Amino acid sequence: MDIRDIHTPVLLERCIELLAPAISHDGAVLVDGTLGMGGHTEALLQRFPGLHVIGLDRDQDALRIAEERLAPFSDRTTFVHTVYDGIATAIEDAGAGPVDGILFDLGVSSLQLDVADRGFAYAKDAPLDMRMDQTAGPTAADVLATYGEGDLRRIFERYGEERLAGRYARAIIAARTQEPLLRSGRLVDILQAATPAALKQAGHPAKRVFQALRIEVNGELAVLERTVPAALSQLRVGGRIVVMSYQSLEDRLVKRVLQDAAASTAPAGLPVELPEHTPRFRLLVKGAETASAEEVARNPRAAPVRLRAAERIKESM
């Protein structure tokens, strides 16, 4: 099957519209910090013939697919196997900084969701892996085998915002004394059995737990907290960043960092704002933008997206 049939880039035209003023000149450089299967990058390279893209991804399968897909643009692409908090090093190694544009399409990719044996999807029985980079780090099965009840409850509450976190943690601890939890199907069965009947109609009981495990396994929020400030520091004046988030924890973090960057640093009560206190960035969208009903109908995975964007307007003082 053509990769374009299984991967539909989210908010593609809006991303292009926001980035265009910064990347339409010859010699422009954009970093796609979450390259995935290359859908956004392919469209950007087609639209802007003078653009070079540095594509980052921690998933080697995604990099392989993207490199094949983007082969017609091999002279205008650089691929880097790294977690996106390595953005500054990737840019330095490419000799490309400061850059004109940065794009992040956060969360789990279509490739990771659709390949059953990656273990990301609770609807498919598979080994409990959930690593975005399958060459490094503990799996979800390792987390479930080694974390105590308190730690499991903590990650389910913090990263899944799960009301039944304690109940689910106890059920997992009890179940693993019988046999190791190695497959997603068994974990789903445990969670369903631990869910009160009155709450079973309020959404799939595994959804938030799987999200929490994925975030914990990949260190997603800690990485993102380092990444956004690092990315902002790599933009030239006039450069733009677009970030798409798919769950509230990510979006709140991105919102805070961008708002802080777009705020004056003048002390309260100062009668005149001095140049060194003026904002370094300006926000390009009001609040967070979402996908249209038409786009969600075409691509249901666009439903939770929240897009934020900013432009650098001055150098750091």
One digit per residue, pLDDT tens: the chain, 317 residues? 455 555 789 999 999 999 999 999 999 999 999 999 899 999 999 999 999 999 999 989 889 999 999 999 999 999 999 999 999 999 999 998 799 999 999 977 555 555 555 666 777 888 999 898 888 889 999 999 999 999 999 999 999 999 999 999 999 999 999 999 999 999 999 999 999 988 877 778 888 999 999 999 999 999 999 999 999 999 999 999 999 999 999 999 999 999 999 997 666 666 666 666 688 999 999 999 999 999 999 999 899 999 999 999 988 75
**Start-end ranges of CATH 3.40.50.150 in the chain?**
3-105+220-312
Axis crossing angle, helix 165-176 with helix 149-160, rounded to the nearest 10: 140
From CA 22, how far away is CA 101, in angstroms rounded?
A: 6
154: left (phi over 0), alpha (psi -120 to 50) or beta: alpha
Distance CA 101, CA 141 (A): 38
Given this model, what pLDDT does residue 2 score?
54
- Reported as a single tens digit per residue, the pLDDT across 43-87 is 999 999 999 999 999 989 889 999 999 999 999 999 999 999 999
Buried/exposed code over 231-259 (b: 16+ C-beta within 10 A; e: otherwise)? bbebbbeebbbbbbbbbebbbebbbebbe
Q: How many helices (H) and strands (E) does the chain have?
A: 14, 7
Q: Pick one of 1.10.3720.10, 1.10.150.170, 2.40.170.20, 3.40.50.360 as the CATH number of 116-218.
A: 1.10.150.170
Q: What's the CATH code, domain 3-105+220-312?
A: 3.40.50.150
Query: How far is residue 186's CA from residue 181's CA, in Å, rounded to a whole number?
Result: 7
Cβ atoms of 216 and 137 within 8 Å: the answer is no
Q: Please state, as a whole number, how many other Cβ atoms lie within 10 Å of the Cβ of residue 126.
A: 17
Apex CA 7: angle with CA 85 and CA 10, to 5°?
65
Give me the pLDDT at residue 4, please.
57
pLDDT value at residue 1 = 46
Q: pLDDT digit string (tens) for 191-231?
A: 999 999 888 777 788 889 999 999 999 999 999 999 999 99
Burial of 268-286, coded b for 16+ CB within 10 Å and e otherwise, reads: eeeeeeeeeeebbbebbee
- For residue 245, give the nearest of 225, 262, 230, 264 by alpha carbon: 225
Binding residues, as ranges, are: 38-40, 57, 84, 105, 112
Residue extent(s) of CATH 1.10.150.170 domains in the chain: 116-218
- Quote the CA–CA distance of 213 and 140 in Å, as a whole number: 6
Task: Report the phi/psi class of residue 290: left, alpha or beta, with left for phi > 0 and alpha for psi in -120 to 50.
Answer: beta
Task: Report the binding-site residues for S-adenosyl-L-methionine.
Answer: 38-40, 57, 84, 105, 112
Q: What is the pTM of this model?
A: 0.87
Q: Where are the beta strands (DSSP E) in the chain?
A: 29-32, 52-57, 77-81, 99-105, 235-245, 281-283, 306-312
- Relative orientation angle of helices 248-261 and 220-233, to the nearest 10 degrees: 20
Q: What is the pLDDT of residue 174?
A: 97
Query: Which tokens in the block code for residue 55?
Result: 């594509």
